[in-house]
Amino acid sequence: MLIYEKDNKLIIENVKSFNITHIFDCGQCFRWNKEDDGSYTGVVKNKVINILQNNSTIIFDKINYDDYETLIRNYFDMDTDYDNIKNQINVDEVINKSIEFGQGIRILNQDEWETMISFMISANNRIPMIKKVIENLSMSFGDYICNYKGRDYYAFPSAEQLCKAPLEKIQQCKAGFRSERIKEAAQRALYEKDIIYNLKNKTYDEGLEYLKTYKGIGDKVANCILLFSMKQFDTFPVDVWVRRIMQTLYVGENTSDKDIRIFAENKFGKFSGYAQQYLFYYARENGIGR
């Protein structure tokens, strides 16, 4: 991997296991959108990031090496050995095919608070709608960042900002029945921010137990939060898509979500979360079980 700055861009050559379509379309994040030139633009913390890929070269617009060290490197999971992970979870033909199909997937290290609220919104919702609600919340309550390629960008609102927001205004963001849950979570997070940001240093069970004390966070959402923002990679969140592919290709049709999760965690081991992402992407892109 070769990293250098050129013309106000940061360029990384010879990246392996990195495909921006796989990364942004595998359902782990909701704030990235494709541009006409094939690049993706998104918001990470308080920064707008645009990323373009040509084969094994990735180009970040208006990013310098400092930004790479403080933000990009961790967010894009650049220090993880994906070959090793793929080898460890590649235990049969189904997962082998899925890994091949989504070879460029990476599990992003996202902000804990943003991930909590985002997956709270995901309950009984569609991905385009989830993205719209998050965008509405950011535009209504988040800090303005800048204009990029003709579009205004806003940071995801903090707990403080959502706490001040009247319930009706949250409802106007089309959050539906999740509006009160968001408001309640913000009120709690205001005083428990340290706990939330320290969960990655706790055990999986402690994290799960804590997250589920929030209204609107059940088993599935809690596991997504743990996987996508708290580095708990041994968990296997079961949603409709994962249920479909697992029931079709591994276990019986009437197997419960909990049993599917236990089956998968035993099968794929400490990197079950990565296996879940490959399977999710494969199932969704190929309509498995529909």
- Residues contributing to the site for DNA (CB under 7 A): 26-28, 122-130, 171, 174, 176-177, 212, 214-222, 224, 237, 239-242, 256, 258, 276-277, 280
Residue (12 or 217) nearer to DNA, CB: 217
Residue (128 or 150) nearer to DNA, CB: 128
Residue (62 or 174) nearer to DNA, CB: 174
Residue (52 or 242) nearer to DNA, CB: 242
SS3 203: coil
d(CA 228, CA 83): 19
Least CB distance to DNA at residue 96 (A): 19
Least CB distance to DNA at residue 29 (A): 8
SS3 235: coil
Least CB distance to DNA at residue 280 (A): 5
d(CA 290, CA 279): 15
d(CA 239, CA 221): 9
* Residue given tokens 């249920």 in the structure block: 243
* Residue given tokens 């608070």 in the structure block: 113
What the block records as the tokens of 201 is: 């240093």
Residue (61 or 285) nearer to DNA, CB: 285
Least Cα distance to 85 among 226, 234, 241, 220 occurs for 234
Handedness of CA 120, 125, 128, 129 (dihedral sign): negative
Residue (22 or 47) nearer to DNA, CB: 22
d(CA 241, CA 226): 19
Least CB distance to DNA at residue 162 (A): 17
Least CB distance to DNA at residue 125 (A): 5
d(CA 265, CA 98): 17
Least CB distance to DNA at residue 145 (A): 25
